[in-house]
Amino acid sequence: MSAIAIDRPRTEADHVAPPVAGAAAIHIKGLEKSFGNNRVLRGIDLDIPAGQFVAVIGKSGCGKSTLLRILMGLEEPSTGHLRFEAFDGKDAQPNTRIVFQEPRLLPWFSVADNVAVGLGEGVPTEVLRKETASVLSEVQLAEKADEWPSSLSGGQKQRVALARALVSKPGILALDEPLGALDALTRISMQELLNRVWRELGFTAVLVTHDVSEAVHLADRVVVLDEGRIVLDLVIPYPHPRRHGNPALAELEGQLLAAILGDIRS
Amino acid sequence: MSAFDTSFIRVGAESRTRPVRTARQVISLQRFLPFLLPIVVIAAWQLGSAFGWISTRIMPSPAAVVVAFWQTTISGQLPNNILVSAGRAFAGLLVGGSIGFLLGIANGVSRLSEQLTDTTLQMLRTIPHLAMVPLVILWFGIGEESKLFLTALGVLFPIYLNTYHGVRNVDRGLIEMGRVYGMSNWTLFRKVIFPGALPSILVGLRFALGIMWLTLIVAESIAASSGIGYMANNAREFGMTDVVVLTLVIYAILGKLADVVARTIERKALRWNPAYQN
């Protein structure tokens, strides 16, 4: 269990690409959240350096989605602190974007207009068109710009959703089981895409998933939640991009699965 | 057994050589099919009138209706009355539709507004609006206000109900996405809520168009001094069955026209929806 490292110093393996100027560090201290009598989060302490890719995994109902929703400002914490720190060390409200499990595209807008939603209001048309086109070619959907979302496959829709999240160059990207609804092959190519854009753009990424293999392949660090507490905080010290079928990763996968399923097996 | 097999093969070979011609024939026949029944009925009707089997006091011949159409068109009576009726219809649709639309949006978006007005509206909705005719005549006489009021009241509820229903059924996930992506309330309405509710609103519009003509026919027959309903009622007093039937035909055409317009709006506005892509 030497791989457990809570509040450890930042290591070289934490990120490969230098973080972008807007990438923000996330500091969570003593975070709790209750819905009525249901204590979903029971004291979370987590420091995520700028530009790190963190995966949060755990069984259904462990509180991982709630943690992400609090990060996104969709829920208020019951107690505890949440602080974002800009690259220059100052407190800042970073540009945070999310990709949901479902694409959540507006079916009445073209693919390009859906991506433009990510830029917000008051952006000049020229800039809008340029940014939209560039991010669409980033996710390899440039030729679909003028189509309706209904004509796309599930994987393509999710790539449009990713483009919408990336178009404003976010400092933090939250990913709420974004690949959960895709078939196995599409999922692998989406993982490669996610890894590539993260290395190129250098944002801080928080991925919520229950796919251990996905977490190990994408993240610098995997945090295991159980009943609202962090039970394991594991660094994945391998360079990106990672190959599927790497035995060292499989070993870590096993370790994580044991931690998640521990109380079921015993 | 072998004879059976041969005939089977021949039939198969034949049908393989003819598909282009038969396909074309089927298409032209299918285009013609909807009009077959009306044509047969009109022909039988004309024959019946010509041979004196149908009394002209009960039913004029189709030819007489065409003549009536020609005469009233030349005299200006028909176009004038159509204009008056259409004007009333759309004024009523505009007023009642706007009120219904605004109430539907407000109650769909705001809990307070819904609690304040929805129960009252649901209660009023159950009153047949044509039951208001005696009261409306007492209030407004037979002036324009009475027709406007009745039509507006008639179209208000279908538009209200469908707008409200549409807004309520907009995908919550899309609204949450809009909020997370920093949309202001107005932008959220413009880009998410209104387009999401539009299919339902347009269904309401089509219901409203039907009710709009119905209300107008009744209102104009009872209390009017112009319009197609008045024209029909007036013709009845002089026993001019041809004009009476003509007005029925005009109503059918106007109703169909309104429906075609609504369908066209649907196809244009909802072309993103696979159900309307054809």
pLDDT per residue as tens digits for the range B196-209: 999 999 999 999 99
Residue A266 in any domain: the answer is no
Contact B272 A117 (CB under 8 A): no
Angstrom distance (rounded) from CA A74 to CA B161: 31
Co-location of A2 and A86 in the same domain: yes
Chain A 135-154, CB below 8 Å of chain B: which residues?
Answer: 148-150
Spans of all domains in chain B: 2-50, 62-276
Co-location of A113 and A231 in the same domain: no
Q: Which two tokens stand for residue B209?
A: 């168009």
From the CB of residue B162, how many other CB atoms can be counted at a distance below 10 Å? 24
Q: Is B30 exposed, middle or buried (0-12, 13-18, 19+ CB in 10 A)?
A: exposed
Question: Any CB–CB contact under 8 A between A27 and chain B?
Answer: no
Contact A121 B187 (CB under 8 A): yes
User: Which residues in chain A have Cβ-Cβ distances shorter than 8 Å to B174?
Assistant: 104, 106
Co-location of A118 and A179 in the same domain: no
User: Which residues in chain A have Cβ-Cβ distances shorter than 8 Å to B177?
Assistant: 100, 104
Inter-chain Cβ pairs, chain A and chain B, closer than 8 A: 46
Angstrom distance (rounded) from CA A163 to CA A134: 9
- Which residue in this structure is represented by tokens 């980033």? A138
Question: Any CB–CB contact under 8 A between A72 and chain B?
Answer: yes
- Which residue in this structure is represented by tokens 């370790």? A255
Question: Any CB–CB contact under 8 A between A241 and chain B?
Answer: no
* Total domains in the fold of chain A: 2
- Provide the whole-model pTM: 0.81
Co-location of A85 and A179 in the same domain: yes
Closest in A100, A108, A164 to B173, CB measured:
A100
Co-location of A111 and A147 in the same domain: yes
Cα angle at B147 between B70 and B237, to 5 degrees? 45
Nearest CA in chain B to A97: B181
Nearest CA in chain A to B270: A108
Contact A100 B177 (CB under 8 A): yes
Nearest CA in chain B to A110: B272
Contact B181 A118 (CB under 8 A): yes
In this structure, CATH architecture of domain B62-276:
Orthogonal Bundle (1.10)
**Domain ranges, residue A193:** 1-95+172-260
DSSP summary character for residue A182: S
Closest CA to A209 of A199, A200, A218: A218
Tell me whether the omega of the peptide bond preceding residue A103 falls within 30 degrees of 0, making it cis.
no
Co-location of A88 and A34 in the same domain: yes
Domain with residue A220: its CATH number is 3.40.50.300
Residue A100 in any domain: the answer is no
For B8, how many CA atoms within 13 A lie in the half-sphere containing its CB? 5
Contact B192 A106 (CB under 8 A): yes
Answer whether A230's CB lies under 8 Å from A46's CB: yes
Q: Which two tokens stand for residue B130?
A: 């044509």
Co-location of A86 and A191 in the same domain: yes
Closest in A98, A109, A150 to B180, CB measured:
A98
Could you say which of A168, A187, A221 is where a domain stops?
A: A168
Contact A106 B174 (CB under 8 A): yes
Co-location of A185 and A239 in the same domain: yes
Angstrom distance (rounded) from CA A148 to CA A145: 9
Angstrom distance (rounded) from CA A167 to CA A111: 13
Angstrom distance (rounded) from CA A227 to CA B249: 72
Contact B191 A102 (CB under 8 A): no
Contact A74 B180 (CB under 8 A): yes
| Helix, strand, coil distribution of chain A in percent, nearest 5 | 35, 25, 40
From the CB of residue B210, how many other CB atoms can be counted at a distance below 10 Å? 16
Co-location of A190 and A72 in the same domain: yes
pLDDT tens digits, chain B, 278 residues: what are they?
A: 444 444 444 444 444 444 455 666 677 778 888 888 989 998 998 998 888 888 877 888 899 999 999 999 999 999 999 999 999 999 999 999 999 999 999 999 999 999 999 999 999 989 998 888 889 989 988 788 899 999 999 999 999 999 999 999 999 999 999 999 989 999 999 999 999 999 999 999 999 998 998 898 888 888 778 899 889 988 988 888 899 999 999 988 888 898 899 999 999 989 888 888 76
Contact B272 A150 (CB under 8 A): yes
Interface of B with A (CB under 8 A): 171, 173-174, 176-178, 180-184, 187, 191-192, 195-196, 198, 270, 272-274
Provide the shortest C-alpha distance from residue B107 to chain A (in Å): 23
pLDDT tens digits, chain A, 266 residues: what are they?
A: 334 333 334 444 444 445 566 788 999 999 999 998 888 999 999 999 999 999 999 888 888 989 999 998 888 999 998 988 877 767 777 888 999 999 999 999 999 999 999 998 888 999 999 999 999 998 999 999 999 999 999 999 999 999 999 999 899 999 999 998 888 889 999 999 999 999 988 899 999 998 999 999 999 999 999 888 999 999 998 888 888 888 888 889 988 988 888 755 54
Co-location of A195 and A183 in the same domain: yes
Residue A15 in any domain: the answer is yes
Co-location of A193 and A144 in the same domain: no
- pLDDT value at position B55? 84
Angstrom distance (rounded) from CA B29 to CA B193: 44
Residue A43 in any domain: the answer is yes
Co-location of A154 and A176 in the same domain: no
Closest CA to B174 of A218, A114, A78, A208: A114
Distances (CA, A) of B209 to A74, B94, B144, B157, B256: 42, 11, 19, 12, 10
Tell me whether the omega of the peptide bond preceding residue A19 falls within 30 degrees of 0, making it cis.
no
Contacts of B267 (CB under 8 A, 6+ apart): B276
Sign of CA dihedral B261, B262, B264, B269: positive
Answer whether B45's CB lies under 8 Å from B61's CB: yes
